[in-house]
Amino acid sequence: MEGRGCSRERLLALVQLILLLGAFVNVAFCTLADEIASDSLVVRFDHIYDVDDWTQEHTDNFTSSVTTAVNTYCRNPTNSAACQISESSSNSTFTVVVSSDSPEYFNGDIKMTFYVRFPEADRADDAAMEYLVPKDTVAIIVEDNKEAIDAATGFNKTKDDGIVFIGEKRVTEIDNSMDKIMIPIVCVLFVVVVLMAVCLTCMQSRGEKKLQEQRKQQIGSSKGDEGITLTAVKSGSYASDDNNAKTVEVHVDVDAKPAEEKGDDVTGVNVALTT
């Protein structure tokens, strides 16, 4: 009975040890995954118009040049704290790991995502990171060694080739030379369009005014012709040669106002007698 009890206790202790080791490995894995997610750096190369133009050779040269730059920077004792290692660290090599998704085509650029892992044996006791060099430190290293990295990847033909973004920071100047030409042209075109709009508006207003004047003249002339002329012959005979015949011509003004409105006794009928 005592032998069985000892075996059971040993089995339980072994199970507990396995669980502890599993928990430790799980925590370590989660910590590494979290650091990779938070401290991976993205750089973008310009003037590469197709992801197929970026070959495995470019990736290898990029990784090698960044590794050289990181080791040179972090092995300097003044930069040990920034790289999360102790000043008395060994000469172990820092490791540059490129994301499996890289290279990616992004807005006309090639995007490379990677992180730098420092030697665990060299980790400083007060280091905030467990496995990786902080991406802010890596960004400084890449920017300081931009020309060397561009040359290693073969994209340094002009000052605008190679790395254009490190993280969210643009590290090459934007070419604004065309602005000196385009801005004046746009301003002149704007002034011309405004002047044309003003001229068209004035011409339209004049045309409408002239049309209104013509309509008023037509209405006035038509009113002046309105009236009724009555002619009667008062005679005992209708002969044209009768000297006693009298002609009465009555003209009625249709537009005449009533006498009440005019304030006089005129009836609004003009009568003309012709003998």
Residue 237 has a pLDDT of 47
User: Checking DSSP bridges between strand 228-234 and strand 162-166, what pairing results, if any?
Assistant: unpaired
Up-side HSE of residue 189: CA atoms within 13 Å toward CB? 6
Give CA 251 to chain center in angstroms.
80
Residue 156 has a pLDDT of 61
For 75, 83, 117, the CA distances from 87, given in Å and listed in that order, are: 8, 10, 17
Residue 29 has a pLDDT of 46
Residue 146 has a pLDDT of 92
Query: Quick one: tokens of 164?
Result: 């254009």
Residue 61 has a pLDDT of 93
pTM of structure = 0.55
For residue 248, count other CB atoms closer than 10 A to its CB: 14
Question: What is residue 274's DSSP assignment?
Answer: E
Regions of the chain with pLDDT less than 50: 1-2, 22-29, 228, 230, 233, 235, 237-241, 245, 254, 259-275
Task: Report whether 141 contacts 68 (CB < 8 A).
Answer: no
User: Checking DSSP bridges between strand 41-46 and strand 109-117, what pairing results, if any?
Assistant: antiparallel
Residue 239 has a pLDDT of 47
For 177, 207, 222, the CA distances from 214, given in Å and listed in that order, are: 57, 11, 12
Q: Give 214-252 as a DSSP string.
A: HHHHHHHHHHHT--EEEEEEESS---TT-TT-EEEEEEE
Q: Give 108-175 as a DSSP string.
A: TEEEEEEEEE--GGGB-TT-S-SSB--HHHHHHHHHHTHHHHHHHHT--SSTTSEEEEETTEE-S---
For residue 96, count other CB atoms closer than 10 A to its CB: 21
Conformation bin of residue 133: beta by default, left when phi > 0, alpha when psi is -120 to 50 = beta
Q: Compute the distance between CA of residue 96 and CA of residue 94 in angstroms, rounded to an integer.
A: 7
Is the Cα torsion angle 114, 115, 116, 120 positive or negative in sign?
negative
